[in-house]
Amino acid sequence: MPVQYRSILEEHKAVRRAAGLFDVSHMGEVDVRGPEAGKFLNHLVTNDVTKLFPGRILYSPMCFPTGGVLDDLLVYMKGENDYFLCINAGNIAKDLAWIREQAAKFAVTITDRCADYALLAVQGPRAAEIVQSLTGAKLGLVKYYHFVEGTVAGVHCLISRTGYTGEDGFELYHAAGDAVALAEAVIAAGAPRGLELAGLGARDSLRLEAGYPLYGHEITQDISPLTAGLGWTVKLDKGADFIGRDALVAEKQNGATHKVVFFKTGDRRIVRAETPVLGDDGAVVGRVVSGTLSPILNEAIGSAWVTTAAAARPLAVDIRGTKLNLHLVKPPFVELKKTS
């Protein structure tokens, strides 16, 4: 996947206005099967896997015992003892080793499917119309974070109503050998409806505008899901012990030392990752973890990891000698029209 095909800003706007096609085949896929598959996954991740039913998808962090994040992933429940994970490309080797190690105590089989699948994401307000024109599956019945198996343009797909843009859309998992045919069919159906090819640059600015975390930025092995503002994905009371629970309970009880905040500046200068964040006395109180220009707001937006005490007071950054105040925002930065 290239950073851009034409222009990051134009690709971003096309996704908000009509639709974009992303080749996200670099993402990793893992089958988790066996009589204890559900029990194992509920031990592995922080969110409550018992809430799943066949056809339902769960977003969850996967933590170290320290409460730091190993990765964030999607859990698909295909059947009673049959689950499917989508993990981040950069973490595939680390995740597989970890998952296999943890799985040793459970009646479960872990299968690396990364090389078998390609993944195309069709995202934007016209995505449903575009994908529906290529499939007999009744997409109107597939709600957000649900999936069905079906045929799209003659290609067998797991049709997942998910995405990383904040827009409605689908992620189509399919056999790697079918990727070109499927992409060509989506482009042919989508181009007259305003669909454009979109790259990694737009994927990052879209996810940041939506307020979604990116592994290695808002969540890392040193930034827990509670610190990152993902408390809704940490089910301390789900009735099962899980990896990282003790540390996360302690963090919740003692209060986190840091938190991840989202900001805008009212200025076009991009506040890039690693920029020091200054408290109201000028001392460094944290650092920027993501930053870009919002193509929709036409101003710099970003996220920062700062001390909890400083987050309640004015924050600023110094960009090439100019002090810019950070205006904290509860994301999303723009109005989103996801279906529910």
Binding site for other proteins (CB under 8 A): 3-4, 7-10, 201, 205, 268-270, 272, 292-293, 320
- The nearer residue to other proteins, 88 or 294, going by C-beta atoms, is 294
Contact call for residues 11 and 5 (beta carbons, < 8 A): yes
Closest contact distance (angstroms) between CB of 220 and other proteins is 22
Q: For tokens 């595939």, what's the residue?
A: 92
Contact call for residues 247 and 224 (beta carbons, < 8 A): yes
- The nearer residue to other proteins, 320 or 330, going by C-beta atoms, is 320
Terminal CA-to-CA distance of the chain, rounded, Å?
29
Q: How many CB atoms lie within 10 A of CB 115?
A: 9
Secondary structure letter of residue 145 according to DSSP: T
Spatial neighbors of 332 by CB under 8 A, at least 6 apart, are: 166, 209, 210, 211
Closest contact distance (angstroms) between CB of 198 and other proteins is 13
Closest contact distance (angstroms) between CB of 17 and other proteins is 16
For residue 82, the cross-strand partners are 33, 79
- The nearer residue to other proteins, 2 or 35, going by C-beta atoms, is 2
Sign of CA dihedral 142, 147, 148, 154: positive
Closest contact distance (angstroms) between CB of 27 and other proteins is 23
- The nearer residue to other proteins, 129 or 267, going by C-beta atoms, is 267
Cα 35 to Cα 67, 106, 108, 326, distances in angstroms: 27, 9, 7, 50
Closest contact distance (angstroms) between CB of 293 and other proteins is 5
Contact call for residues 99 and 36 (beta carbons, < 8 A): no
Q: What is the largest CA-CA distance in the chain?
A: 62
Closest contact distance (angstroms) between CB of 262 and other proteins is 18
Please state, in angstroms and rounded to a whole number, the distance separating the CA atoms of residues 290 and 301: 8
- The nearer residue to other proteins, 9 or 249, going by C-beta atoms, is 9
Please state, in angstroms and rounded to a whole number, the distance separating the CA atoms of residues 104 and 122: 37
Closest contact distance (angstroms) between CB of 11 and other proteins is 10
Closest contact distance (angstroms) between CB of 7 and other proteins is 5
- The nearer residue to other proteins, 4 or 151, going by C-beta atoms, is 4
- The nearer residue to other proteins, 103 or 293, going by C-beta atoms, is 293
- The nearer residue to other proteins, 13 or 338, going by C-beta atoms, is 13
Question: By CB neighbour count within 10 A (0-12 exposed, 13-18 middle, 19+ buried), where does 182 fall?
Answer: buried
Cα 190 to Cα 18, 131, 177, 196, 259, distances in angstroms: 9, 8, 21, 8, 40
Secondary structure letter of residue 333 according to DSSP: S
